[in-house]
Amino acid sequence: MVPALRKQYNEHFTKEKYDAFIKDLSNIFPDQLEFRIAETPIYIPTSFTQKMLNACESIIDVITTPAYQKQSERAIPDHLKVPNEDAHPHFIAFDFGICQNEKGELEPQLIEMQGFPTLFTWQVLLPEMHEKHFGKPDNYSIYLNEFNRESYTDLLRKIIVAEAKPENVILLEIFPEQQKTRVDFFATEQFLGIKTVCLTKLIQEGKDLFYMRDGQKTKVERIYNRLIFDDLFQQPKEVQEKGRIFQQELNVTWVPHPNWFYRLSKYTLPFIDHPYVPETKFLNTVTTLPADLENYVVKPLFSFAGQGVIIDVTKEQMEQIPDPENWILQRKVQYANVIETPDEPAKAEIRLFYFWEPGAPRPIATCNLARLSKGKMVGVRYNKDKEWVGGTFSLFEQ
């Protein structure tokens, strides 16, 4: 992305420095880092950053309209609707692929978006440890809009903890000790002082929820929700039964409210018309299949981590989908082999974090994570036995 910085970084990279970096990184929360960390960050020039932000702001223009609020009601499955929904999401994550257009120019293309948290606190620690071992260009930062470590974590605390005491706020997951992203739960506990609680450990008394903290039954006032219903429905019946609390009237505040997981998702893409958002249609609205079907991908609306995606689409596969209203047909984007590495170049995705401060008219871009890939799909599970792939971060030119 920035040739001079890429050349300099690669020339000074050594396996010994990388191994020392990973050792120190792994020791922050021993035995909790379960996904691969890439060997390099991504350097993003201002012009490319502005293209991503322009797309995000255009999407926010759409999703903040009353019309979209009404249209997106259908995005929430009836049996999963949660009471007391907020007027807007607390968080939005926008995933952009670094792509090549028909002229061979690099441009962002939106792959997905979600009204749901991601690795917000881990992405503070990862770049700091990387800088300790590899340094960082002076005029580059992981943050956007002049945020820094202090202001970023202050805003995160303001949204998640708000006026409550940290002991009355929990991070909710299903079997958190089994989650591949659990290192972020530990980082969240460190930054915010809140505890991670498994759904099965909640105690319900009428409309109130409690959990055991240091041997004391403690009231839950706010829930930083990291639980995804797809994951819940893969659990035994007795665990799923505990999930019924989501559909009940409770004396808790959800952060973010679970309905926004569905309102802001792949479901949103067909409503967006922007040069950096690939053409997307609900499958049930497609009357004639494109002649160049090989240039499209089919995705289920309600899944995560790339599960269920059909990359090499055939007419026969399309006809076998029983619920086309729950799928989208999206034009493929051409990922650029943009990150030079010692062997083959890597593709990249950048996830921008948007936080919605209480009382603010719009959310604001704050920070990021990134992923490098050499496989058909971006994601740790699709890049086994490869190097210079995995989780990383972008450094934006300031």
Q: How many Cβ atoms from other residues are within 10 Å of residue 204's Cβ? A: 14
**Please, are residues 382 and 376 in contact by the beta-carbon 8 Å criterion?**
yes
How far is it, in rounded angstroms, from Cα 280 to Cα 262?
17
User: Residue 380: pLDDT above 60?
Assistant: no
The pLDDT value given to residue 365: 98
DSSP H stretches of helix in the chain: 3-12, 15-26, 46-63, 66-71, 122-134, 149-160, 182-192, 229-232, 237-242, 259-263, 315-319
Where are the chain's structural domains?
1-54+93-158+333-398, 161-255
Q: List pLDDT tens digits, range 243-301.
A: 999 999 999 999 999 999 999 988 899 999 999 999 999 999 998 889 899 999 998 88
**Please, are residues 243 and 250 in contact by the beta-carbon 8 Å criterion?**
no
Q: List pLDDT tens digits, range 63-107.
A: 999 999 899 998 998 899 999 999 899 999 999 999 998 888 899
The pLDDT value given to residue 63: 93
Lowest mean pLDDT of 284-298, 316-330, 335-349, 378-392, name the range. Answer: 378-392
User: Residue 305: pLDDT above 80?
Assistant: no
Q: List pLDDT tens digits, range 34-46.
A: 999 999 999 999 9
Q: What is the mean pLDDT of residues 172-192?
A: 97
How far is it, in rounded angstroms, from Cα 273 to Cα 279?
8
Single-letter code of the amino acid located at 278: P
- Running DSSP on this structure, what letter comes out for residue 38? P
The pLDDT value given to residue 379: 59
- Residue 260 CB-density burial (10 A; 0-12 exposed, 13-18 middle, 19+ buried): buried
Termini Cα distance of the chain? 15
User: Residue 175: pLDDT above 80?
Assistant: yes
**Length of the chain measured in residues:** 398
CATH number of 161-255: 3.40.50
Angle between helices 149-160 and 122-134 in degrees, nearest 10: 170
The pLDDT value given to residue 53: 98
- Residue 99 CB-density burial (10 A; 0-12 exposed, 13-18 middle, 19+ buried): buried
The pLDDT value given to residue 307: 65
Q: How confident is residue 306, by pLDDT bands cut at 50, 70 and 90?
A: low
Report how far apart, in Å, the C-alpha atoms of 157 and of each of 94, 166, 193, 255 are. 21, 9, 10, 11
The pLDDT value given to residue 98: 97
How far is it, in rounded angstroms, from Cα 173 to Cα 160?
15
How far is it, in rounded angstroms, from Cα 54 to Cα 362?
14
User: Residue 350: pLDDT above 60?
Assistant: yes
User: Residue 346: pLDDT above 70?
Assistant: yes
